[in-house]
A and B are shown apart, each in its own frame.
Chain A
Amino acid sequence: MSLVLANTPIDLVTEGLGLTGAWAWFVVAVIHTILIGLFFGIPAGVFIWAERKVSGRIQDRLGPTRVGGRFGWLQSAADGAKLIQKEDLVPKDADSLLFRAAPYIVVVASFAAFMFLPFGDGWSAVSTDVGLFLMFAMLSLEVIGVILAGYCSGSKWALFGAMREAAQMISYEIPMAICALIPIIIVGSLNLNEIVRFQSGEGGFPSLTLLNWNIFHPIAAPAFILYFVCATASCKRAPFDLAEAESELVAGFLTEYSGMRWSFFFLAEYASMFAVSAIAAILFLGGWDDGVGIVSGLRSSGHEYSASAIGAVILIAKASKLVLVQIWVRWTLPRLRIDQVMTTCLKYLIPMACALFLAAATYPLVLNRANHGRTDLRSPIGDRVPMRAVEASEAHAVLAAPDSTELAAADGEVTQ
């Protein structure tokens, strides 16, 4: 795991700035925090506005039209200004410390997920081999804040919401993780950069990298749909918004919250919608690859920086498209009952995800035909792992030559 800044290890960056030791770490951490804060806050604001506009159109009304001109651009800012002014209430029966802390846990968890999200090739705050795993881990911490908010409100509605959220999240994390494993089996890496590099890399047609995207893989395509359903559920979006079902539970775990703390939950919800959509775009839709070879052409002709910048725009566009689909689904489908939510997950989604997982694992073994010109798909996973068993044994042959005599000597001592 190493900290990077625009694809450069921090040691080099801070050497250029003339900084050493803890100061270098501090400066880079501040830069990263500001950048991630922008990527965290701005999409959330835009999507809150988009939600109002889209819901308005779907329900045959206009949505916000006044603040900031004809399209109501500044509606989110106006909402924020209103929410800051509201009184911050803590119920008498609540555990006041945890009640106050819960919104921060939720926000910090979804903020931390952005640390591992690469916006372009190597453009992530922390570049690590387990980036995808860590993103899921961070997003799964969000549920703790929601459960605490519900339990510590001291209200029955909130407690019901929290119970539902706990049950739903624990169940839906399983098929979601299994579906995310399928592209990993195909690629052979947990590193988000490598997953996109694989999809934008060598293809049958040198320029048409589109066909390399996992969405066109026969097993990853249904996995994408399953993943997206589970991701919608894990962001507690309709039709899975049982935790805050306003027609049954007042507002679920949000019942007792007001003002800024209430808005923190929404900030985190929209940010985590963006995060799971960005994961979907990276895993299945080619990440920052445009599909016709513009970005990879720019990169190979030496324009690293502009390639990454265009790639970041492409990734954000893909993720925003998926967020819009989530908004569309929310305003189209009715809410499920809680038992239907659990049945959907435990009886349908998990078996389907497991079957797809087994299919993805056995697919390269049984497939003998060329597949989109990708010869690598025919070899078993073990051969595609960069550190191959053959290399390890060769290294052993080279390194262990003097050792083996010592080993024999040690064996001799033991027998004596």
Chain B
Amino acid sequence: MSGEQILFWLFAVTACAGAISVALSQIVVRMAVSLIVCLSSVSALFFLHNADFVGAVQLMVYVGGTIVLLIFGIMLTSSSPFSKIKTSPAEGFLSAGIGALFLSIIAFTVTQVDWKIQSDKVAAAAPVKVSSEGYNAAADGNTARPLALSFLGLRPDQNGQAPGYLLPFEIVSVHLLVVLIGAAYLARTKRRVAPNA
């Protein structure tokens, strides 16, 4: 077993454990901590798959930004310290059963589909000759430059033939600006009008 495989199974187990404890925990702060464990492990899995930039963004934006925002929200909205809002046991069992069924369906699909043949089909249908062996198989991430170029509309990985992502990138930028303004507007403090004024 190579070091990479050991690390993969380590982080896979911590990611799954974090996700399961998010679903099971009743205290909302503990859910946030489990989510941190889960998302950090997922970013480690990104690093193991040579997607170093995506992993770094996951750590910075998700774990360092979104989760801090969520914990901030927990602090602002809990009516008492460590407040619990319980799920009734019946609902819990029902959802656990349906979840197990759902998981078994996905697991069945994952094992039944021959991903190699599918990948070859996609590679054959693509207008540009692409390798069906997978992107960046060498163990050197260094995806920052190809990603940056593809956001600028160039595709170094496909001989420059495929279109880049300049327009989606601009749309996402404008979308973020709109969201920033909208969230600030929604969350502003409202002056309550005195009843007899």
Contact = CB atoms under 8 A, between A and B. Distances in A.
Contacts of A387: 145-146, 149, 156
Contacts of B56: 130, 133-134, 137
Contacts, number: 138
A159 B141 contact: no
Contact of A143 (B64, B74, B140): B64
A2 B139 contact: yes
Nearest to A28: B3
B12 interface: no
Nearest to B72: A166
B71 A166 contact: yes
Given A1-B47, A140-B60, A407-B127, A151 B33 contact: no
Contact of B75 (A22, A133, A159, A407): A159
Nearest to A162: B75
Interface in B98-127: 127
Contacts of A130: 52-53, 56, 141, 144
A113 to B, nearest CB: 11
B196 interface: no
A400 interface: yes
Given A130-B144, A148-B33, A169 B68 contact: yes
B82 interface: yes
A166 B27 contact: no
Contacts of A250: none
B71 A144 contact: yes
A366 interface: no
Interface string A1-44: 11000000000000000000110111000000000000000000
Nearest to B64: A140
Contact of A21 (B2, B50, B68, B128): B2
A160 B141 CA distance: 42
A86 to B, nearest CB: 26
Per DSSP, are chain A's interface residues mostly helix, strand or loop, or mixed? helix
Contacts of B52: 1, 128-130
Contacts of A190: 144
B68 A152 contact: no
Contact of A136 (B27, B60, B139): B60
Q: How large is the interface on B (under 10, 10 to 19, 20 to 34, 35 or more residues)?
A: 35 or more
Interface string A127-168: 011100110111011011001100110100001001100110
Contacts of B139: 2
Contact of B142 (A129, A141, A392): A129
Q: For chain B, what secondary structure do more than half of its interface residues adopt (helix, strand, loop), or is it mixed? A: helix
A221 B196 CA distance: 57
Interface string A64-105: 000000000000000000000000000001010110010000
Contact of B29 (A148, A389, A400, A403): A148
Contacts of B69: 170
B60 A133 contact: yes
Given A162-B75, A385-B149, A141 B59 contact: yes
B68 A382 contact: no
B139 to A, nearest CB: 7
A151 B76 CA distance: 11
Contacts of B97: none
B67 interface: yes
Interface in B1-35: 1-3, 6-7, 27, 29-30, 33
B145 A385 contact: yes
Contacts of A385: 145, 148-149
B100 to A, nearest CB: 27
Given A133-B60, A154-B81, A98 B129 contact: no
B160 A396 contact: yes
B127 A98 contact: no
A333 interface: no
B152 interface: yes
B38 interface: no
A151 B145 contact: no
Contacts of B29: 95, 98, 148, 151-152
A359 B57 CA distance: 25
A141 B64 contact: yes
B156 A163 contact: no
Nearest to A404: B161
Contacts of A129: 52-53, 141-145
Q: Which of B1, B3, B30 has the most CB of A within 10 A?
A: B3
Contacts of A152: 29
A93 B3 contact: no
Nearest to B127: A407
**Pairs of residues from A and B, 3 with the lowest C-beta to C-beta distance, nearest first:** A25-B3, A140-B64, A137-B59
Given A128-B141, A129-B143, A147-B68, 5 more contacts: A98-B30, A128-B52, A137-B59, A148-B29, A387-B156
17 contacts: A2-B139, A21-B3, A25-B7, A101-B33, A133-B57, A136-B60, A141-B59, A144-B36, A144-B68, A148-B71, A151-B71, A151-B75, A154-B81, A169-B68, A403-B159, A406-B129, A410-B127
